[in-house]
Amino acid sequence: MSAYVEIPRPFESAPGRFEVELRFPAGVKRRAVQHHHVAWALADVHGVEARTPYRVNTRWSVYEENWGNGERHGGLDYRGLTVQGPPRALAGYLAALVRVLDAVESLATRAVRVFGAWRRSGAAGAHLEYEDAGTLRVRQREFRTDALTALVGMLGTSGPGGAGRDVSRPLWEQARAVAVEVWAEAGGVDLVEAPEGDVAAYLARMGVVAGAVAPVGPRPAVAVVRSVPAAGEVDWQMELFPQDVAERLYAVAA
């Protein structure tokens, strides 16, 4: 499991299709939205369908919207994501999602370490004259958020570009440049890889045996109704026949 996404047990929404309601529990909504964007970007890669749920505003009323404080009926809930697809594809998606979220957050942490090293270096001296411990904590927090945003935007790209660092500017204004550096050092993030053990675990939660293939082809049996006269009355019976036998019976009856 991951600290960045809550994955309940997927349920079968239709024959051969499963659905799961993901939740992103980050304490700061902006960070949860970033995790939502990661999950959304992975959907196409793994051949599953994703939609952002609509959340009704419990404070809404016609009066409040039109004559009160302007409360809207609701909006998209970016703390959640509904994903559905074939069991194998959905299991691969979930396994990859946990890994990719961990990888992107790890790269954001590496970017913050670069920021910390810069603060302690002589190059930062001219930019820290009017900063104190409190403002630097805010700078670092915002830097991490901006770096994570940049990293999320790089997912699926072949090689993010951009100008390198500008020594004349403070590093908190150059989160993207640092994000590009740590991305290049790590070799990017693989969006496809899904550990087979994790895939099997998600399939087991769905009640699907790993490696099992749903039968494809004609149905094994169909119902054929025929009338059988008895004692001057019509009695109805139902029998089950294999598909090919049923087709021959229909042909004879015709």
199 vs 211: which has the higher pLDDT: 199
Query: Is 50 within 8 Å of 82 (Cβ atoms)?
Result: yes
- Bigger pLDDT: 215 or 2? 2
- Asked if the model's pLDDT at residue 183 lies above 60, the reply is yes
Q: What is the mean pLDDT of residues 223-240?
A: 42
- Residue 124's pLDDT is 83
The DSSP bridge partners found for residue 240 are 223
Q: Are 144 and 152 in contact (CB under 8 A)?
A: no
Indicate if the pLDDT at residue 161 is higher than 80.
no
The more confident residue out of 104 and 245 is 104
Top-confidence residue, 217 or 208: 208
> Is residue 230 over pLDDT 60?
no
Give start and end residues of each alpha helix (H) in 46-86.
62-66
- Distance (Å, rounded) from C-alpha 164 to C-alpha 215? 55
Q: Please state, in angstroms and rounded to a whole number, the distance separating the CA atoms of residues 161 and 144.
A: 19
| Residue 79 pLDDT | 95
User: Which of 29-33, 113-117, 246-250 comes out lowest in average pLDDT?
Assistant: 246-250
The pLDDT > 90 percentage for the chain reads 60
pLDDT band at 239 (very low <50, low <70, confident <90, very high): very low
Q: What values do phi and psi take at 78, rounded to 5?
A: -80, 5
The answer to whether the beta carbons of residues 57 and 74 sit under 8 Å apart is yes
* pLDDT band, residue 1 (cuts 50/70/90): low
Q: How confident is the model at residue 56 (pLDDT cuts 50, 70, 90)?
A: confident
Q: What is the mean pLDDT of the chain?
A: 82
| Residue 23 exposed, middle or buried by CB count within 10 Å (0-12, 13-18, 19+) | middle
pLDDT above 90 for 142? yes
Q: Specify the higher pLDDT residue, 153 or 252.
A: 153
**pLDDT of 224:** 35
pLDDT at residue 69 greater than cutoff 80 = no
| 70-83 confidence digits (pLDDT tens) | 666 667 899 999 99
Query: What is the arithmetic mean of pLDDT over 36-43?
Result: 96
Per-residue pLDDT for 222 more than 50? no
For residue 226, what pLDDT is reported?
38
